[in-house]
């Protein structure tokens, strides 16, 4: 699959880096994010438009104000907190694209409801060979893993859930929290890592018991797709159904109450057969996000407008 031959600064993740790809009929160039300053917007419009004018297709990874006759927009999420003027700008830029691709059915529903065109749903891809359980080095240390620091990820819920789990059921389960940036709040008696490499994150996936993700809002959630190469997930109310299968590859919790998460973790711990079945299902399900599978969908979309 030609689309999988990505030139990227990041060897594992696909979605947020600058990359270029050669296809049989087109080259495309994807931009990262930009700041919402007027000077930055003008710079992107003039310099960005000039940089891609000879390309047959341009894939815009989110909101990027450039001019091109064949723009494919990737809509990762539509934040519920968007202010009206900012939303109108986003809506105009998205609807000025030739095609928009939403990363989940949830995002598509939100986009259409707000008057933004969404022509296709394609989940973000990962390179499955880098997330093979065969690459794991077993450290004989099982723990619960939480990733993410912002207000939507609720690391404090995971912290309280594991605390309740250990106190209520007399267990000694460890929790490790991975933060994407430093936060003021500290969590005693647990290991907190910040700003780690993806290789370090891979090592944590390998040796975790499950991913605990009490997320309030996500357009898709990369970590859910990645973690299921190794373990099941316990997912919060904000994670879209595209990312996992409730009851088969993970468990959905419709609240942000730590007690509810503690109870679900305990149900898996006491039912080893169910846990092993979910783990096996998760490892199979995660292959749907492989870059070759996703690449075929993108190639079909690009060929339709060339």
Per-residue pLDDT of the chain (306 residues; tens, 9 = 90+): 333 333 333 333 444 333 333 333 333 344 444 455 556 667 777 777 887 788 788 888 777 788 888 888 999 888 766 678 878 888 998 999 999 999 999 999 999 999 999 999 999 888 878 887 877 877 667 899 999 887 889 999 999 999 999 999 999 999 999 877 666 566 666 777 777 887 888 889 999 999 999 999 999 988 999 999 999 999 999 999 999 999 999 999 999 999 999 999 999 999 999 999 999 999 999 999 988 888 888 888 888 887
Question: Which pLDDT does position 211 carry in this prediction?
Answer: 97
Q: How many helices (H) and strands (E) does the chain have?
A: 10, 13
> Is 170 found in the same domain as 51?
no
Question: Which pLDDT does position 5 carry in this prediction?
Answer: 34
Give the angle subtended at the CA of 295 by the CAs of 291 and 299, to the nearest 5°. Answer: 170
> 8-38: b or e for each residue (b if 16 or more CB lie within 10 Å)?
beeebbbbbbebebebeebebbbbeebeeee
> Is 262 found in the same domain as 143?
yes
Question: Which pLDDT does position 296 carry in this prediction?
Answer: 86
Question: Which pLDDT does position 179 carry in this prediction?
Answer: 79
> Is 249 found in the same domain as 133?
yes
* C-alpha–C-alpha distance, residues 250 and 193, integer Å: 24
Question: Which pLDDT does position 259 carry in this prediction?
Answer: 98
Beta bridge partners of 124: none
Question: Which pLDDT does position 55 carry in this prediction?
Answer: 79
Question: Which pLDDT does position 225 carry in this prediction?
Answer: 92
> Is 133 found in the same domain as 60?
no
> Is 73 found in the same domain as 173?
no
* C-alpha–C-alpha distance, residues 157 and 295, integer Å: 36
> Is 243 found in the same domain as 161?
yes
> Is 164 found in the same domain as 121?
no
> Is 154 found in the same domain as 88?
no
Question: Which pLDDT does position 53 carry in this prediction?
Answer: 81
3-state SS assignment for residue 206: helix
Question: Which pLDDT does position 30 carry in this prediction?
Answer: 42
Closest CA to 154 of 130, 200, 121, 185: 185
> Is 279 found in the same domain as 138?
yes
Q: Which domain holds residue 89?
A: 2-126+290-303
Query: Count of domains in the chain?
Result: 2
* C-alpha–C-alpha distance, residues 179 and 168, integer Å: 27
Phi then psi dihedrals of residue 212, to 5 deg:
-105, 115
C-alpha 93, offset from chain centre: 23
> Is 237 found in the same domain as 133?
yes
Residue 247 sits in a domain whose CATH number is 3.40.50.2000
Question: Which pLDDT does position 292 carry in this prediction?
Answer: 84
């Amino acid at each position: 699959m030609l689309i999988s031959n990505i030139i990227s600064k990041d060897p594992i993740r696909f979605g947020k880096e600058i990359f270029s790809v050669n296809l049989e009929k087109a080259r495309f160039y994807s931009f990262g994010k930009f700041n919402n300053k007027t000077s930055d917007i003008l710079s992107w419009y003039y310099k960005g438009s000039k940089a891609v004018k000879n390309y047959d297709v341009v894939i815009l990874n989110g909101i990027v104000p450039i001019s091109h006759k064949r723009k494919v927009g990737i809509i990762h999420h539509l934040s519920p907190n968007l202010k009206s003027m900012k939303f109108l700008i986003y809506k105009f830029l998205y609807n000025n694209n030739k095609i928009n691709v939403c990363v989940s059915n949830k995002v598509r529903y939100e986009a259409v409801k707000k008057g933004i065109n969404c022509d296709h749903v394609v989940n973000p891809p990962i390179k499955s060979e880098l997330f093979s359980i065969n690459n794991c080095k077993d450290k004989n240390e099982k723990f619960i893993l939480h990733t993410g620091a912002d207000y939507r990820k609720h690391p404090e819920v995971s912290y309280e859930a594991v605390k309740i789990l250990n106190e209520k059921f007399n267990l000694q389960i460890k929790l490790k929290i991975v933060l994407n940036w430093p936060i003021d709040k500290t969590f005693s008696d647990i290991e907190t890592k910040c700003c780690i490499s993806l290789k370090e994150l891979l090592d944590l996936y390998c040796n975790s018991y499950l991913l605990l993700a009490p997320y309030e809002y996500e357009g898709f959630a990369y970590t859910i797709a990645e973690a299921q190469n190794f373990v099941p997930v316990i997912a919060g109310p904000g994670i879209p159904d595209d990312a996992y299968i409730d009851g088969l590859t993970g468990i959905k919790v419709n609240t942000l109450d730590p007690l509810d998460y503690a109870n679900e973790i305990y149900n898996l711990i006491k039912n080893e057969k169910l846990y092993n079945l979910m783990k096996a299902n998760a490892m199979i399900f995660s292959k749907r996000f492989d870059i070759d599978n996703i690449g075929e969908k993108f190639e079909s979309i690009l060929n339709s407008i060339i």
